[in-house]
Chains A and B, each alone.
Chain A
Amino acid sequence: MALEKITQVTGRGVFIPGDDIDTDRIIPARFMKCVTFDGLGEFAFADARLHDKEAGRIHPLDDPRFAGATILLSGSNFGCGSSREHAPQSLYRFGHRAIIAESFAEIFFGNSTTLGVPCVKLSQQDIAGLAAIIESDPEAMITIDLTENKVTVADVDFSAEITIPGHAREALTTGRWDSIADLVDGLDEVKKRVTAIPYLAS
């Protein structure tokens, strides 16, 4: 069952600076006692946002200038720590449809890809450049093109090459990003394979 082919994501951006932003930061564990992922969006970065509010600052996710942004930018090793799917789920439900960072933690990357949320890498310098564009014009429309391997900004002279592992690019652009849908699709092959795996066959 092929899903939507994700070749391009276009939208406004929001920059959450910092390296090693872990999944506890993205969605604190106490919000995980849910039966479904519905409603997780409002708790994305809950503690960081509250902390900023108490300190008289505005967290980027609460900054009205960036309301409705669909592309999240951050630093290196984004999504490290606990493997909770709740982290990409909360960002997805907050409205993010793609993430740009210097690098991603493995499991977060996999969980995001299987939600159809491309995680693409840019150099620190290009992220800083993109963040500066967003800061001066929050309405700037960013486009991530997975076919052209590029990030561009409408009406701005900005173009940078993205990095995304081949398997993820292929999965997203061919609409095969949901591994479970893939397995269901190939149920006959799965059944055949099971007979060849000793501990499943017996």
Chain B
Amino acid sequence: MAIGKPKVRRINVDGKLAPGVYAKDVILHIIRHLGVNGGIGYAYEYGGSTFDNFTQEERMTVCNMAIEGGARVGYVNPDETTFEYLRGRPYAPKGADWDAAVARWKATASDADAVYDDIVNFKAEEILPTVTWGITPAQAVFIDEAIPDPKNLPEKDRATAIEAIEHMKVTSGTPVDGLKIDVAFLGSCTNGRLSDLQEVAKHLKLQKGRKVAPHVKAIVVPGSQGVAAIAEKMGIAEIFREAGFEWRGAGCSMCLGMNPDKLVGDQLCASSSNRNFKGRQGSPTGRTMLMSPLMVAAAALTGTVTDARKVFGIQ
């Protein structure tokens, strides 16, 4: 067969995330530390108390980016949170079929004494809002950090860092907090779910009257038509519109620039998507900074990459 069996790396995150720190920050932090090639040859199994307490949608955000960490696949073991998420959804089994399915799913979960090829541990309390500054998802820093100097990076990371600094038109030593953006994109399969839109809308509502910065084009693209319909019904779309965001049809949109939603020239985009490669958002010289949905909203309102906790008064 042309397909091989991967090794399994267990990635534990334990503890409680601080307010304003999200699943997106967790996966950017993991990739920052394990690298974009750290997962080669592996499947990533995420666990620990942080994941136990995550909603299914938060888990999806992290699993979505296993590929960015180099792994072939990423998963969280199925548990009651998973089953509750699936119960009653379109195509979910019903009645006796449901019970049989749950039993089958439970049987696929790793045993408590499972042996892994590798185990990595992180503490939730150490994770802060994270943004990428370069052209790979591993080139990431906390919002209170500066663009690194390639000289201070491990030798293997230096060439890509130099290339990234050139493409991103940033300077080593400059704080990421304060970089002026042109576009804010809230959406994608990583962070275009209902809970993402709800969380941002909740905070926008508290900032009543505050608008997207005049020089920023801000678009919200629900992850699916189903999400779009629910969000419209719940009044979420209206909250975004009132704040000056464009509420758009569901789709991939500016994550990869296959439709007319593309960056123009070297525009800098605060994006809740998963990839910041050169040219990813449709312009060969376009620049992407990945971050959580609330960080995208903070960047949209202030016109700069900035700490969402300060913008929205989260303590």
Q: Which residues of A contact B (CB under 8 A)?
A: 18-20, 22, 24-25, 28-30, 32-33, 47-48, 50-51, 76-77, 80-83, 103-107, 110, 113-114, 165-168, 171, 176-179, 182, 198-199, 202
With a CB–CB cut-off of 8 A, which chain A residues contact B67? 81, 83, 107
Q: A81-B275, A104-B40 are in contact. Are A110 and B2 (CB under 8 A)?
A: yes
Assess whether B4 is in contact with A167, with CB atoms less than 8 Å apart. yes
With a CB–CB cut-off of 8 A, which chain A residues contact B159? 18-19
Residue in B1, B93, B104, B163 whose beta carbon sits within 8 Å of that of A171 in the complex: B1
Q: A110-B3, A198-B100, A199-B104 are in contact. Are A47 and B278 (CB under 8 A)?
A: yes
Which B276-292 residues have a C-beta within 8 angstroms of A? 277-280, 282, 284-285
Q: Which residue of A lies closest to B252 (CB)?
A: A29
Interface size class of B (residues with CB under 8 A): 35 or more
Q: Which residue of B lies closest to A19 (CB)?
A: B160
Could you say which of B68-76, B198-206, B239-247 contacts chain A? B68-76
B251 at the interface (CB under 8 A from A): no
Min CB distance, B12 to chain A, in Å? 22
A–B complex contacts, Cβ < 8 Å, 24 sampled: A18-B159, A19-B156, A20-B136, A24-B275, A25-B278, A29-B256, A47-B278, A77-B40, A77-B70, A80-B68, A82-B275, A83-B67, A103-B40, A106-B39, A107-B67, A167-B1, A167-B2, A167-B3, A171-B2, A176-B2, A179-B1, A198-B101, A199-B93, A202-B97
A113 to B163, CA, bound (A): 30
Which B259-281 residues have a C-beta within 8 angstroms of A? 262, 275, 277-280
A122 to B256, CA, bound (A): 32
B41 at the interface (CB under 8 A from A): yes
Q: A81-B67, A103-B40 are in contact. Are A30 and B282 (CB under 8 A)?
A: yes
Min CB distance, B50 to chain A, in Å? 25
Which B75-98 residues have a C-beta within 8 angstroms of A? 93, 97
A16 to B277, CA, bound (A): 17
A81 to B136, CA, bound (A): 9
Assess whether A168 is in contact with B4, with CB atoms less than 8 Å apart. yes
Q: Which residue of A lies closest to B275 (CB)?
A: A81
Residue in A25, A176, A198 whose beta carbon sits within 8 Å of that of B1 in the complex: A176
Min CB distance, A133 to chain B, in Å? 21
A188 to B160, CA, bound (A): 49
A50 to B283, CA, bound (A): 12
B30 at the interface (CB under 8 A from A): no
Interface of B is mostly: loop
Assess whether B104 is in contact with A24, with CB atoms less than 8 Å apart. no
A20 to B93, CA, bound (A): 42
A77 to B215, CA, bound (A): 37
Encoded as 1 (CB less than 8 Å from any A CB) or 0, chain B from 1 to 33 comes to 111101000000000000000000000000000
Residue in B4, B36, B101, B104 whose beta carbon sits within 8 Å of that of A80 in the complex: B36
B174 at the interface (CB under 8 A from A): no
With a CB–CB cut-off of 8 A, which chain A residues contact B172? none
A77 to B280, CA, bound (A): 18
Assess whether A30 is in contact with B257, with CB atoms less than 8 Å apart. yes
A177 to B1, CA, bound (A): 7
A51 to B266, CA, bound (A): 13
With a CB–CB cut-off of 8 A, which chain A residues contact B277? 22, 24-25, 81
A166 to B41, CA, bound (A): 13
Assess whether B40 is in contact with A105, with CB atoms less than 8 Å apart. yes
Assess whether B280 is in contact with A24, with CB atoms less than 8 Å apart. yes
B119 at the interface (CB under 8 A from A): no
With a CB–CB cut-off of 8 A, which chain B residues contact A178? 2
Residue in A24, A167, A168 whose beta carbon sits within 8 Å of that of B256 in the complex: A24
B37 at the interface (CB under 8 A from A): yes
With a CB–CB cut-off of 8 A, which chain B residues contact A76? 37, 156
Assess whether B136 is in contact with A50, with CB atoms less than 8 Å apart. no
Assess whether A33 is in contact with B1, with CB atoms less than 8 Å apart. no
Min CB distance, A5 to chain B, in Å? 14
Residue in A18, A81, A182 whose beta carbon sits within 8 Å of that of B160 in the complex: A18
A65 to B285, CA, bound (A): 28
Q: Which residue of A lies closest to B139 (CB)?
A: A20
Min CB distance, A84 to chain B, in Å? 9
With a CB–CB cut-off of 8 A, which chain B residues contact A77? 36-37, 40, 70
A105 to B70, CA, bound (A): 6
A18 to B156, CA, bound (A): 11
Assess whether B256 is in contact with A82, with CB atoms less than 8 Å apart. yes
With a CB–CB cut-off of 8 A, which chain B residues contact A114? 2
With a CB–CB cut-off of 8 A, which chain A residues contact B163? 18
Min CB distance, A49 to chain B, in Å? 10
Q: Which residue of B lies closest to A78 (CB)?
A: B37
A28 to B285, CA, bound (A): 12
A201 to B41, CA, bound (A): 32
Encoded as 1 (CB less than 8 Å from any A CB) or 0, chain B from 33 to 61 comes to 00011011100000000000000000000
